[in-house]
Every structure is written in C-alpha cells, then in structure tokens.
Amino acid sequence: MKNYVNLMIEHHPALEVCRKDVESAVDAVLTMHKNGGKLLLCGNGGSAADCEHIAGELLKGFLLRRTPEGDLHGRLAETMGAENAEKLQRGVSAVPLPSLVGVGSAFCNDVDPALVYAQLVLAMGRPEDVLLCISTSGNSKNVVYAAKAAKALGIRTVALTGGTGGQLRDLCDIVICVPETETYRIQEYHLPVYHALCAQVEEVLFGKV
C-alpha cells in the first residue's frame, strides 16, 4: 500500500511537523466512512474553493478507478446498463458547505453571516460525521462558530490552518497547522496536505491489496 503522507513529506520536507496530525485526519475520515458519516467542509475565499476541491477528490475517483463491484455492480448494470455501470465510481460522502449558495445567502441576509456555517452544521451534522474547518488564520468567525456548533453536536473536528493556529487550535480535535504565516504560503501548503489526505483515504478504501 502506498503511503501518501510519506510522499507529501518527501516533496515538502517542512511538512514533517504535520505528519501525525495528517495521519490522525486520515484515520478520522476512514472511521467516519466506516460509520456511514459524511465530511462537512467550510472555509472562505480560497479556502472555500479548497472545500470544493477536496469534495471533488472524495466523491469520485482521484488516483484510482473505483468501479462498483459485486452485487452493487450487478444491480447498477441491471437498472442502467453495463456500460453506464462501468463509468460510475464509488465515493466518500463529502459536502462543501460554501457551495450551498441559496440557503447560505438567505441565512446571511436574513439572520447573521457569522453563523452561516454553524446553521448548516446544525441542520445536517450527525455524530458520525467529521467537520473540516479551513482557515489560514484559524480565526475566521463563521468557521470558528461552525467548529463550536460541531462540538455541541458531538461531531469530530479537523482544522487545516497555519501560523499559530488561531482559535481553531483550541477548538478542534485534530489541528493541521502548516509552518507558514503568510496567507498565500499557507494556502500553498494546504494543497499537498489535503491531496495526501484524500489519496491515502482512497488507497485504504479502494486500493487493491
């Protein structure tokens, strides 16, 4: 089995300090999937785009083909045709909260923008889920409130941040704090971190032994 966390560190040695936290995040997502949960993701600006990116790597094949197997493949072939069944891929459930534009904009306009992600976590979150909070400073208000809502619901939280880790360092169960302080440099490190996370989860769940 490939170890994508090791590969991440080979290419970005400075991320050695994040090894244990990235591995813990992988384990959290694997446990979530095993328990029938979903990954909720929140962030702003570039981090909102990262939420979309991560969801895209999880909801379909990333580095591997994930063609449904066994009985599921047979049922899909029966209802949709064999050719279509071969094109479909198994996934890991993930919901990028910034992409829920309709309800998000309504809540921001009608209630309180700072609580928008907390509202979505409250509405959709379940104890078997994981909330991934992305904030380069660790202090984004709406992300911090989402983490607090998740804590109230008993949902495990992972922070992807930088600098000192901000408020998320003390709020979240797992904190991946990359060793940079400037926003764009933090974001540059976030990409290999979440690629390693997604690739390792995929390798464990869908890789061939």
Report whether pLDDT(209) > 70.
no
What's the pLDDT score for residue 151?
Answer: 98
What's the pLDDT score for residue 208?
Answer: 73
What whole-number distance in Å separates Cα of residue 161 and Cα of residue 186?
Answer: 7
Q: In the chain, what is the straight-line distance between the N-terminal and C-terminal CA atoms, in Å?
A: 7
What whole-number distance in Å separates Cα of residue 71 and Cα of residue 85?
Answer: 12
What whole-number distance in Å separates Cα of residue 29 and Cα of residue 96?
Answer: 15
What whole-number distance in Å separates Cα of residue 143 and Cα of residue 17?
Answer: 24
**pLDDT tens digits along 40-90:** 999 999 999 999 999 999 999 999 999 888 899 899 999 999 899 889 999
Q: Residues 143-166: what's their mean pLDDT?
A: 98
What's the pLDDT score for residue 69?
Answer: 82
Tokens of 169: 């360092």
**pLDDT tens digits along 90-135:** 999 999 999 999 999 999 999 999 999 999 999 999 999 999 999 9
SS3 state at 155: coil
Among the residue ranges 6-10, 80-84, 148-152, the one predicted with the least confidence is 80-84
Q: Residues 174-186: what's their mean pLDDT?
A: 98
Report whether pLDDT(38) > 90.
yes
pLDDT band per the 50, 70, 90 thresholds, residue 10? very high
- pTM value is 0.96
Q: Which structural domains are found in the chain, ordered by start?
A: 4-63+91-206 (3.40.50.10490)
Q: How many CB atoms lie within 10 A of CB 13?
A: 9
What's the pLDDT score for residue 117?
Answer: 98
